[in-house]
Structure 1
Amino acid sequence: MKADLQQEFVKLYGKEATDTYFSPGRVNLIGEHIDYNGGLVMPCAITFGSYLLISPNNDNVFRFKSLNFSEQAEVPLNADHKKTGEVWYNYPVGVIAHFQNDGKDLQGLDMLFYGDIPIGSGLSSSASIEVVTAFALNDLFNAGYSKLDLVKLSQAVENKFIGVNCGIMDQFAVAFGEKDKALMLNCDTLEYQAVDSNLGDYLLAIINTNKPRKLAESKYNERVQECQTALAALKQELDINYLCDIDSETFDKHKHLITDAVVQGRAKHVVEENDRVKLAAKALSNNNLAEFGRLMYASHQSLRDLYEVSGIELDTVVDYAKTNPNVAGARMTGAGFGGCAIALVKKESFDKFSEEVSAHYTSKIGYAPSVYASLIGNGVGVLNEVVKS
Structure 2
Amino acid sequence: MKNILHQEFNKLYNKDADYIYFSPGRVNLIGEHIDYNGGLVMPCAITFGTYLLISPNEDNVFRFRSLNFTDQQDVPLQQRYEKKGNGWFNFPIGVIDHFLKDGHQLKGLDMLYYGDIPISSGLSSSASIEVVTAYALNNLFNCGYSKLDLVKLSKSVENNFIGVNSGIMDQFAVTFGEKNKALMLNCDTLDYQAVDSNLGEYVLAIINTNKPRQLAESKYNERVQECQEALTALQKDLDINYLCDIDADTFKKHEHLITNPVVLKRAKHVIEENDRVKLAAVALADNNLAEFGRLMYASHDSLRDLYEVSGVELDAVAEYSKTNPNVAGARMTGAGFGGCAIALVKGDAFEDFSREVTQYYTDKIGYAPSVYSSLIGDGVGSLNVAVN
TM-score by length of 1: 0.99
Which residues of 2 match residues 107-126 of structure 1 at below 5 A? 107-126=107-126
Which residues of 2 match residues 116-155 of structure 1 at below 5 A? 116-155=116-155
Aligned residue number for residue 223 of structure 1: 223
The DSSP-based 3-state class of the residue aligned with 2:384 is helix
Deviation at 1:218, TM superposition (A): 0.2
Q: Residue by residue, what CA displacement relative to the aligned partner does 1:341-377 show, whole Å, maximum 9, x if unpaired?
A: 0000000000000000000000000000000000000
Pairing 1:100–2:77 present: no
Which residues of 2 match residues 346-365 of structure 1 at below 5 A? 346-365=346-365
Aligned residue number for residue 318 of structure 1: 318
Aligned residue number for residue 261 of structure 1: 261
- CA distance in 2 between partners of 1:287 and 1:69 (Å): 41
Q: Residue by residue, what CA displacement relative to the aligned partner does 1:119-138 show, whole Å, maximum 9, x if unpaired?
A: 00000000000000000000
The DSSP-based 3-state class of the residue aligned with 2:16 is coil
Deviation at 1:384, TM superposition (A): 3.2
Aligned residues: 385
- CA distance in 2 between partners of 1:341 and 1:181 (Å): 19
Q: For residue 46 of structure 2, what is the amino acid of its counterpart?
A: I
Aligned residue number for residue 373 of structure 1: 373
The DSSP-based 3-state class of the residue aligned with 2:45 is strand
Pairing 1:211–2:211 present: yes
- CA distance in 1 between partners of 2:71 and 2:153 (Å): 25
- CA distance in 1 between partners of 2:307 and 2:375 (Å): 29
- CA distance in 1 between partners of 2:370 and 2:384 (Å): 29
- CA distance in 2 between partners of 1:308 and 1:383 (Å): 42
Q: For residue 75 of structure 1, what is the amino acid of its counterpart?
A: V
The DSSP-based 3-state class of the residue aligned with 2:281 is helix
The DSSP-based 3-state class of the residue aligned with 1:7 is helix
Unaligned runs of 5+ in 1: none
Which residues of 2 match residues 26-65 of structure 1 at below 5 A? 26-65=26-65
Deviation at 1:146, TM superposition (A): 0.2
Q: For residue 124 of structure 2, what is the amino acid of its counterpart?
A: S
Aligned residue number for residue 158 of structure 1: 158
- CA distance in 2 between partners of 1:3 and 1:211 (Å): 34
The DSSP-based 3-state class of the residue aligned with 2:353 is helix
Unaligned runs of 5+ in 2: none
User: Do 2:80 and 2:100's aligned partners in 1 also have CA atoms closer than 8 Å?
Assistant: no
- CA distance in 2 between partners of 1:125 and 1:78 (Å): 27
User: Do 2:19 and 2:384's aligned partners in 1 also have CA atoms closer than 8 Å?
Assistant: no
The DSSP-based 3-state class of the residue aligned with 1:171 is helix
- CA distance in 1 between partners of 2:40 and 2:287 (Å): 20
Q: Residue by residue, what CA displacement relative to the aligned partner does 1:144-175 show, whole Å, maximum 9, x if unpaired?
A: 00000000000000000000000000000000
User: Do 2:227 and 2:263's aligned partners in 1 also have CA atoms closer than 8 Å?
Assistant: yes
Q: Residue by residue, what CA displacement relative to the aligned partner does 1:86-142 show, whole Å, maximum 9, x if unpaired?
A: 100000000000000000010000000000000000000000000000000000000
Q: For residue 102 of structure 2, what is the amino acid of its counterpart?
A: D
- CA distance in 2 between partners of 1:265 and 1:251 (Å): 12
- CA distance in 2 between partners of 1:293 and 1:263 (Å): 28
- CA distance in 2 between partners of 1:142 and 1:245 (Å): 40
Deviation at 1:79, TM superposition (A): 5.2
- CA distance in 2 between partners of 1:130 and 1:239 (Å): 38
Q: Residue by residue, what CA displacement relative to the aligned partner does 1:49-91 show, whole Å, maximum 9, x if unpaired?
A: 0000000000001000000000100101115311011100000
- CA distance in 2 between partners of 1:384 and 1:300 (Å): 40
Q: For residue 188 of structure 1, what is the amino acid of its counterpart?
A: D
Q: For residue 57 of structure 2, what is the amino acid of its counterpart?
A: N
Q: For residue 15 of structure 2, what is the amino acid of its counterpart?
A: K
- CA distance in 2 between partners of 1:384 and 1:251 (Å): 52
The DSSP-based 3-state class of the residue aligned with 1:119 is coil
- CA distance in 2 between partners of 1:188 and 1:281 (Å): 19
Aligned residue number for residue 2 of structure 1: 2
The DSSP-based 3-state class of the residue aligned with 1:384 is coil
- CA distance in 1 between partners of 2:384 and 2:299 (Å): 37
Q: Residue by residue, what CA displacement relative to the aligned partner does 1:169-227 show, whole Å, maximum 9, x if unpaired?
A: 00000000000000000000000000000000000000000000000000000000000
- CA distance in 2 between partners of 1:148 and 1:219 (Å): 30
Q: Residue by residue, what CA displacement relative to the aligned partner does 1:4-60 show, whole Å, maximum 9, x if unpaired?
A: 100000000000000000000000000000000000000000000000000000000
Deviation at 1:383, TM superposition (A): 1.5
Deviation >3 Å, runs of 4+: none
Deviation at 1:288, TM superposition (A): 0.0
The DSSP-based 3-state class of the residue aligned with 2:332 is strand
TM-score by length of 2: 0.99
- CA distance in 2 between partners of 1:341 and 1:350 (Å): 15
Q: For residue 256 of structure 2, what is the amino acid of its counterpart?
A: H
Q: Residue by residue, what CA displacement relative to the aligned partner does 1:320-355 show, whole Å, maximum 9, x if unpaired?
A: 000000000000000000000000000000000000
